[in-house]
Each structure stands twice: as C-alpha cells, then as structure tokens.
Chain A
Amino acid sequence: MEETTCNFPGYEDFHYELGTLFSTYPPPFIYVRDPETSRTTSIVIDSILRNLSGASSVPTTTKIHYARVDCVSSFTARLIYESIINTLVGWEPTWQDGCGNWSSPQDIRWNDSLDSFIHGLRAAHAHLSQQKASTSTDKTNDGKVRFVIVVERAERLSDSLPELLVPFTRLAELARLDLSVVFLSQVEWEDIKPPLGASPDPYYMDIQSLSKEDIVRNLISNFPALSKISRSNSILQNIYHPSLKSLYAHFITILCDVCYPFTHNLQELQYIAAARWPGFRKPLLDEYKEQQRQMAADVEAARMRLNRLFNSTITTALDALLPRLTNAADWARDNEPPEGVFSLPRGQWQPQQQQQGLTVQQQDENMTNLPRISKFILIASFIASTNPPKSDLRMFGRGVDERKRKRRATKAAGKSKSGGPPKVAQRLVGPTPFVLDRMIAILGALLEDNDVESRLADRQLTIPGEHTDMEIARVGIFSSVMEQTSMRLLHRTTHADRLDGPPMFKCAISYDAATVLAKELKITLNDLLWDPIA
C-alpha cells in the first residue's frame, strides 16, 4: 500500500494504522476514543478517508465511499439515515426539486425504519457498484465498493437513540456489505456499551494527548493555509504574510511554552494564537512602516524584545479566552499594543491584566441597576440558602432587651471533633433550597435593620416593625421574586403548578455578587452568615 502523507504531526501512527485498515480489511466496528481533542481527530479521520476515497491515491481495487454523521446534529433516526445515505452516494438535496432525498433505482423509501435503511444501504451499494463498473476501464476491476460510516459524538447515540446503538455496531452483518462503522467518542466504550453483550467488541483505538512539540509543529503547519486566506500580497494587509512565517514559528513556541500546562487542545491554542498574533506582529510592522525597509536587521534582538513585551500578555489571553470570558476578536482589539511600543520605556505599556476584573466591574454596574428591593431579596435568599434553617432564630431573633447575635463560635477549619472527615463549609457545598416564607422573614429582618431610613415615611404605621411588616407582604416583593426567577438569579426548585405548600427556591448568585450587593446596601454580610468566611 502506498502511504499517504500525514499532515498532522503527532497523529502519524493513528493515521497509518487507520489508513491501512481502511484500505485493506477493515474490522466491521472500530471505536476511536479521544477524550480531549475529538474535533481534531475527526478532521484527521476525514482527511484519511478523503485521501482514500479520492480515486487516484488508492491503487486498490476497492473503491471507498464514506459518510460522517454527527449524533448531535442528527438527533432523530431519520436524520441519521438520510445523512448517511445521501452522503454515501454524494447526493445533495436542492430546494428546486423539493429537497428530495436520493432515490434508488427501485424507488424504495428508506428513511422510516432501520429495516428500510438497510435496504437503502444495499440499494446505494448496488448503485455505486454499478456506477463504478460502468466507469471503470480496467476490465479486471470487479467493481468492489466499500462503505465507511463515521459516527461522531457517538456517546450521544446511547442517550438520544439507544435503540440504534446495537444495529449500528452490527451494521456490516445486517447489511451483508463490505462496510465498516467507526465510532468516535469522548467516553469509553464500556460506558455506553449496550447490556447483555448485544454488540460485538470493537477494534479499539485510543488517541493519546499530543506532546508539546507535536502541538507546536501542528500549529506552525497551519501557517501556509492561513496565509492563503487573504488575497492581499502586502505585508501590512495580510496578517499571515508568508514572509512572517519564521516569526510565527517563534511566536507559537512562546505561546505553547506558556499555555501547554493548561490545555492540550489544539483548537484552543489556535484560538489564543489567533487573538494574540495580530498584536504580536504589530510592533515590527510599525517599525517597518516607519523605516520603509525590510525587517529589522537584528532579528534576534527584535525577538527578544517581543518576548519580553508579550510573554505576560499571553497569560492574560489564556485567562480570558480559555473560559471564553470574551471572544478572540474583541480581546485582540482591546489588547493591541500602542504605536511605537518598542520605543516606550520598560513597563510603560501595561496590557490589561485585569480582564477578569473588568467583567466583574461590568457585572457590578448591571447589578447596581437592580431595584433596591430585589437586591435585598437576593441577599436574603443568599443567606437563606447558606445558613441552616435552625440558625435563623439565633441570627435574626431579637430579645426584648438586647439584640446580641449569638453566632456559633468559629472553629478553625480542619479536623472535626469526632475525628471524622472535616465538614465542608456550606458556602462551598452550594446553595440549599429554602421555603419562600423563610426568605421573606429574613428579608423582613434585613429591611428592619437596614432600610428604615430610606423608605418613605408613613404616618399611619407607628408600631415598631409594623411598616416592615407591611413592606414584606407587598405585591411588589412577590412579583420581584418571580421576576428574579425568570432572570435565573433565583431557582425555583418546586414545580410551578404545585399549589400545595409553599414554593421553594434556591439562590443562584455567587458569594462575590452577594458581597457586592451587601456592600452597596451597607449590610455586613459576614455577620449574618452562620459559617462566616474568615
């Protein structure tokens, strides 16, 4: 067999193995597991199959037709069937002919059940074999056609269409064709395996995570493709101009040095690279524009300076982009170095380190625009979700003479008395559901302590606490609870249709958000928490 070249460093073995299998005697069921970079793997598999199915590169007598089907996009059996057969025969439905599916010469309907699908497969096979035989000039060619069906995100199949799992693993048997099914999944076969040994054991292939060198080579190998995207020949217009290739290679090396410990995902690294690269090359281009000549003569010195300038910004990019706090385009725009950054004294250009801080600030602004009562409700619900119900009387109850809160003595974290495992702080366990009435009662206590001055005076309500009592039963309070539930600041844990019993809620704001709100309302939140945060 002639080896096709692999364009994906690190995937050479996989490429060779799978390529060999497909072009010789593929097992009927192959299970590829890739927990980390399934998107890349699917591209690799696609490139293998594309090479093999391209007529010129396959010297064998068997013609390979393949179809990839994604179990998320194809969420019903019909979609899977249609997707597979249409792709195998290379049929593309068009609007003008009513989006009709491929129809076999016998004109059978093949998208309504598994049985008809198998008939459809056979019809497609027959059709393609016939086609091959008629086009082939070589008489020795006996018109063999081989099908390869790649099922991506196969773990979804066991959730949404479990009834298809067994037939697909045995498709070759059922259809009695030269056919191989490849499952590509992020989970182990053991986890989705149908019970009672209904499926045959697959041919296992595991993808190892890439080494740093492979990732670097991989990313650099993308460069020629990227530089072809822009049609412009000017180095100022084309961000990935061919003459920047060596700089790009250098850039990728730095990038991977910084990011490799955090993610091995090729696509993520590429994403971060795309965000940082325009800024990285900018100082050099500025200089180039100024001097109207070729790149700075002392390349090594320029690289050193770039290193120094951008090393820290790559960490910032990683912090902001990996959790997608912002998108690459916006990040690139916000973190573009200023003109003539080389000439600035050291430390003058401080890239925005506090990207995260920025979002928190933005969050503050929107939170402050909430109505005042909603803020109180959020804090009350945070307290209700964090404190155990039994502590309420001690935290908020008032004696006749004194109003001293008896809080539990704060114990040093660590071992518990009984020697069992230490108890995890409530704040870390997550919010517990609370009854609406309890939250309203806490709200009343909060309002009585912190809101008396700011509300409009009412001469009719003179008994201490009477006004608060009126306030907490207002329609506005309840509608605001519902509104916050729809905003997902509170979670309703009981069903909305249930009439019996009080509704239960859970607080959905973080401790940080609660602190921000408490600070604004001048509530000392920490004093009101049963398990205060030291």
Chain B
Amino acid sequence: MDFQNLDDISKTTYCIPYIPQGAQPDLTPKSFYEDRDLEDGRELRFEAYRVAWSKCLRRMQEIVHELQDASVKDVVKETRESYTNVLPGLPYPELPVITLTNLSLGATLLDKVSTNLEQDEHDTEEESFRCTTIHLYPGDVPTLAAGMRAIISGFVDKERMAEMVERKPTSSLANYDIKYLVAWYKSWAHEQGYSNLVIVLHDFEQFDTEVMQDIFYICSGQTSVLPLVFFLSMTSPLSNYLNITYPRATLSLLRVRNFSAPSGPQILQEILLKTFFDTNFQPDIMIGPAVLEYLQDYFTRFHPSVDAIFTVVHLVHLRHFSSEPLTVLVNDTPANQALSNTKASAFVDFLQKRIRISHRNNEDTNMGDDSISSTIEATNAIRKDFRRRMIDMKIGFQLIVLFQSFLEEQGYKGLDWSQSPEKREGLGRAMLLLLDDSLKKYVKQIGVFARKLKREELMIVLNRIYQFLHSLPIDISAAEQPAKLHNTSMRMEIKQSPDSEDVFDAASENFSGWIVGYISEKIKSLETCALWDIWYTGRSLFPAELINPSIRASLLAGLLRPHEFADDINENLAQRPDAESRTIRDLPDTSILFKRYLDSSKLINVYDWYESFKSVLDDQRQERLREVTASRNQSPRKKAKGKGKGKAKALSQPAAEMDLALEDDEKWDIRVQARFIRALHELDYLGFIKHSGRKKDHLMRTVFDIDNAE
C-alpha cells in the first residue's frame, strides 16, 4: 500500500481512502423464502419480471405519447405559422416567442416538439411552414457573445451548405455577429427555400435575464430578414413569468404566446385508468390498494410527473418479483421436467399446499392427485381464473364509471365521487375503493338511482351499456352474452310500449335489480382468488423510504444503530448477534461519540466529551486484549466472531489488533485523540455541532430530544 507522508507540513489536509480488507459480503438481496425457491428461480423470475414490466411500461408510454401528441399539435402549428397571419398595422415587426409550460409530461415532450417541427409537412403545400430547430441550454449562454455565437454556429453548423466557403476570421464578420447569420440565411434560403429558424431554449428560467434581454433585442431587429422564432420551455407555473421577470421594453419587442401541457392529477388518473382498469389491456401484475394509495399520495404531494409514476410502478414490479418465489408462475408454469427435479421439491410442495388450501376454501372436492402434471394443470387453471376475475372487475368498474358520468352529464350529483376536472380526486378514490373491496355501497346507490331514472334517461343508459358491451374485445365479450341479451330485451320492452307507465315501472325495477346484481357479481375482491399473490400486490406496502426517505431520521438511525445498516443483509436473522448483547464498545467511533453527545446538556465541554469517549475506547482495548490472549491459546481462526463490523472492521483485523493491544500507553493516547478528532469532525460535518464561541472549550448541540431506546 502506498502510505502517505502524514508529517508533510506543507499540506493542511490528507485524504486517507477507506480500503476494505477481506472478502466483501454479497450485497445482492436474496428472496426471504430462499429455501423454497427453484434452483434457477432468480433467473426465471427476472425473465418474468422483464416481460411483465416491459409490457406495462410500453402501455404507459403509449398513453403518455397520446397525451403529448394532443398538446404538441397546437404548439407545432403555432410555431410553423409564426410568420404568417401577422396582424397588420403594428409599429414594428414583433419577434415571435412561444412558451410551453410543462410540469408533468417529462423531457420527452420537447424532443417530440422538435422532431415534429423538423418533419416536412406533406399535407400542407406551403413552403413557409418549414422549420429548422436548434437547442440551447442555460450553460450555453453565459454571456451575450457566447450566446450569440451558440445561436449562430448552431444554425450554420447544422445546415451546412453544399459549397464550403473559405472564411478569413480576421477580415470577415465576427462569428457572433447577427449579420453573419443574416448573410448565411440569405444564401441558405436561396438554396433550400424559406424556413423558420426555431431556437429552443431549455429550462428558460435558468437563463440569465440580462443576457436574454439583449439577445431578444438583437434578434428582434432582424425579424424582417431572419424568420427567428424563440421557443421557451418552462416549468414555472406562473403564466406571467415573462411579465414578472423581463422589463416592458423587452416584452414590447416580443409577441408571446403561452401554451401549457396538461398537468395535475388527471394525468395520473388517465395512466392508471388505461393501464390497470382498461378492458383492452391486461397487465401481468395488478397493483394493490396500498401501492395505489401511495402512488396517488406521492404524485399529488411531491412529484406530479409521469416519471414519478413510472418509477413507482417499476419499483412495485421489481419488489414483487424479488420476494416471492411463486411469482415465477406469472405468465406460464415451468415444464414438468423442471419441476420434477429434486431441487424443486420444496417449491412444488409449497405450491401444492397453497392450491390445496384454496381448494378447501372453495369447498371444491374435485381435487386432483398430487402429481406434478396435475399441479401444473391446476396452476394454469388458476391463472386463467384470476385473469377472468380481473377482467370482470374492470367491466364492473367501467360500468360504474359509465353510470356516474351519465348522472353527472344529466346534472345529478350521482355518487359522492366525481370525475369532473374540478373534483379530480374522485376517480382516483373510486379506484382505491374498488381494490379495497369497498365499492359495494355505491352499487346499492346505483340501484336506487336506476330505479328513479326517467324513460328517456333509462334509454340513454341502456344504449350506452349496449355500446360498452359491444365494444369489448371479442375474447372477453363472448362471456358477456347474457348481459347483452338482457340489455337488448330491455330496450325492446321499453320501445314497444311507449306510453304504458306500468311496463316502464316494471322495466326500471328490472333494470335496477339487474345492474346491481351484475356489477356486484363482477367486482369481487381479487384476494379471494387462489394464489392471488402471484398476480396482485394486494396490501403489501410500497417501500416509500426508498424513494423519499427522511434524511434526518435515516441519519439518526444510522448513527444510533449502525450495525443494522452495515451488516450483511443476507445473513440470516437468527445468526445475527442480538442487538441486546451489543454494548456501546461494539459501535464505531462516530456512534460512540454521538451516544455520549445525546447524554450531554445543551453545551458540551469538549474535554469531558473526550474523557467519556476515551473510557469507552479503553474498555474496547481491554476487551481486545482479552480476546488476543485468549486466541493465542486457541486456534487463531475463531476469534473474529461476533465483532462489530463496518467502520470498526478495519481495526478488527487480527494482525493490526495484536499490535494495537500491545502498543504502549503513550501511543494509545495519541491514537485515541486522533480517533476522537476524526469522529468529532464527522459529527461536525453532519451538522450536529454549532461553534458558538460563547464559552471556551464548549460546543453547542444542535439536535435534541432524540428518542434513544438503547
């Protein structure tokens, strides 16, 4: 090892890198149920995960693209037509500026805009609709000259012309002179035809306003010869951002048009509804109410962006497949051969047990034998059942949504959730209730409402249900034949007796009964299915601390219980040394110092602190000495057991320890001081110490009232 000269007085600080010794523990988490996993269970589950997640991701991306397309279209049209339809009679030509506020749809929206802009529109014959775009980021425009150079070279380098011209940099126009761009454009437009020059400014809020003012001023002076369009991508929710930030003199040069991409909870609902509650798409993994609730909470509270949705759903998939060995069965069952392997017996046994339990619950006496092939068959049947149940649930939910939206259209309040944009939480809450199996109450309400419908209203509802049932995919809609027939006969009945009140009353009574029965039949809790936990995350909580941890809490927890962070996570719980049996001397230095910190009052006397620290370290030393002497008598292998790991580990190496324990007291004191200073600085760096200077040799605590259950 390359030791540094620590006595070098020319240096004020040294970096002593941490070099771990000995083998590193395997830190990849294993399934908690490792013992009943298949031999290649991890690989198989990873493959299943890949299929399930990519299917789900593709669907979500499609939905996002649809959402993007809707907002991109107007923006692109406006950009293309920036120089047509200019209001006549203006005192001077304005510089077109288009702002796009995009809170939720992610960075891909801008890419989409720029690719759409650069595509040649074949539908429109007019040449004037062409656009050439360049992209600028805040870092490109630190000064006016650099900004102008970036703009000009952006266009000139992007659209190289056939004939290269030799240019003498000293005796020709400067490459940050707008006239240079004008000369280029004249020649280029002569060759290629008219085209708008679009400058896309990413993260516009971060551009220096003074530089941008001048750039706007310079460019606005050339609009008659240079068709420049500024496209500002913003995240500021203030629609008058430009008015607040830029002076009127600059604004009066611009023609600002604001656009904003859709944002807010409706995006989340759209994605959830079309991914997990749509009859046209069957996700492999259905999210449970706990995850859904967390997702909604996280989205509305912290991060209202599609990226957040993707992350959460992705983590849910990862977690689902990494814990339960049975999830390998998500899409298909391994072949007979693989399961008859002796190493798979634990897996098969458990599977058979689960199947047997569910059969017993369903009082299904028709139980197959315990052979592997019959287990495979049973599993396949259960998978099919679950899928069907999921589809049924979606149909039921869609019907409820259909009914509710009809009631709202007619001006009724309907159920106590609404899907109008003003009360957007409604639909999200309904999804939650559905998964939570608490939607029964609404079904009853629907029955009551159905009975009260007027004749023409009932007809509309029946027609809509008819359309809905017929719009289902063919493989699903085959099973809904009775419902279709019922619907048709009801409509016929009402049509045939246009005046008879009795017939209508009977019909509406009939409809009410039918719809309640039908929907309740459909929306049954998924958790009653056999082996439901393979396809459904149920009530397992989302590991929220992974994506949004509480820094302070984690920091304190880390200092108070370092072993729980640093120990080998795959080590069996039973084998771990008991937390109780660990005393303060087993902790790393920083933790020892921190514990003593917690015992002190508001002001800490540094010397006392050091003394208390030293006493622990002395204790540690005595313990080591005892171990070393003991190990000399025994085999040298045994002794490292039960020792603190992590930071203390570097010190716990046998050879080092031996020297350590045997070194003389003077040296030991210096060592203790060094360790104290190091731990102290670590705490200082973490922000636990305030240097008040009020009292000599004293430091101030910054953290109080820690619930330190030692």
CA distance A103 to B173 in the complex (A): 12
- Given A99-B167, A327-B256, the answer on whether A359 and B239 have CB atoms closer than 8 Å is yes
Say if the beta carbon of B110 comes within 8 Å of chain A.
no
Across-interface contacts of B165 in A (CB, < 8 A): 95-98
In the complex, which residue of chain A has the Cβ closest to the Cβ of B260? A366
Contact indicator B88/A229 (Cβ below 8 Å): yes
CA distance A483 to B304 in the complex (A): 12
In the complex, which residue of chain A has the Cβ closest to the Cβ of B258? A362
Name B154-178 residues within 8 Å CB distance of A.
161, 163, 165-168, 170-174, 176-178
Across-interface contacts of A275 in B (CB, < 8 A): 87
Contact indicator B549/A487 (Cβ below 8 Å): no
- Given A456-B294, A486-B235, A513-B238, the answer on whether A324 and B248 have CB atoms closer than 8 Å is yes
In the complex, which residue of chain A has the Cβ closest to the Cβ of B184? A95
CA distance A239 to B89 in the complex (A): 9
CA distance A330 to B256 in the complex (A): 10
CA distance A344 to B67 in the complex (A): 42
- B174-209: CB near A (< 8 Å → 1, else 0) gives 101111100110111000000000000001011000
Of the stretches A11-19, A74-82, A290-298, A407-415, the one at the interface is A74-82
Q: Which residue in A99, A112, A327 is a CB contact (below 8 Å) of B94?
A: A327
CA distance A480 to B304 in the complex (A): 11
Of the stretches B31-39, B47-55, B214-222, the one at the interface is B214-222
Across-interface contacts of B172 in A (CB, < 8 A): 93, 98-101
Among B177, B184, B217, B245, max chain A CB count under 10 A is at B177
Of the stretches A127-135, A138-146, A369-377, A383-391, the one at the interface is A369-377
Across-interface contacts of B186 in A (CB, < 8 A): 94-95
Of the stretches B385-393, B550-558, B626-634, the one at the interface is B550-558
User: Closest CB of chain B to A73's CB: distance in Å?
Assistant: 5
- Given A70-B221, A327-B257, A332-B87, the answer on whether A487 and B235 have CB atoms closer than 8 Å is yes
Say if the beta carbon of B453 comes within 8 Å of chain A.
no
Contact indicator A100/B187 (Cβ below 8 Å): no
Contact indicator A93/B218 (Cβ below 8 Å): no
Name B135-151 residues within 8 Å CB distance of A.
144-145
- Given A75-B144, A487-B235, A487-B237, the answer on whether A372 and B301 have CB atoms closer than 8 Å is yes
In the complex, which residue of chain A has the Cβ closest to the Cβ of B262? A369
CA distance A78 to B174 in the complex (A): 8
- Given A94-B186, A328-B87, the answer on whether A473 and B553 have CB atoms closer than 8 Å is yes
Interface size on A, residues (CB 8 A): 76
Of the stretches A262-270, A346-354, A418-426, the one at the interface is A262-270
Q: Which residue in A83, A103, A230, A471 is a CB contact (below 8 Å) of B550?
A: A471
- A466-482: CB near B (< 8 Å → 1, else 0) gives 00011101111010100
CA distance A82 to B171 in the complex (A): 10
Contact indicator B237/A476 (Cβ below 8 Å): no
Say if the beta carbon of B243 comes within 8 Å of chain A.
yes
Contact indicator A480/B173 (Cβ below 8 Å): no
Say if the beta carbon of B548 comes within 8 Å of chain A.
yes
- Given A99-B180, A476-B303, A486-B206, the answer on whether A325 and B167 have CB atoms closer than 8 Å is no
In the complex, which residue of chain B has the Cβ closest to the Cβ of A461? B553
Contact indicator B87/A111 (Cβ below 8 Å): no
Q: Which residue in A73, A78, A83 is a CB contact (below 8 Å) of B217?
A: A73
Q: A75-B214, A324-B254, A366-B263 are in contact. List 18 more A-B contacts (CB 8 A).
A: A75-B144, A82-B177, A83-B179, A93-B173, A98-B165, A98-B167, A111-B171, A266-B91, A278-B87, A324-B251, A369-B263, A369-B304, A371-B299, A470-B550, A473-B550, A488-B245, A489-B236, A489-B237
Which 3 interchain pairs have the tightest Cβ spacing?
A473-B552, A95-B187, A274-B89
Mark A residues whose CB is within 8 Å of B.
39, 70, 72-73, 75-76, 78-79, 82-83, 93-101, 103, 109, 111-112, 226, 229-230, 239-240, 266-268, 270-271, 273-275, 277-278, 323-325, 327-330, 332, 359, 362-363, 366-373, 455-456, 463, 469-471, 473-476, 478, 480, 483, 486-489, 509, 513
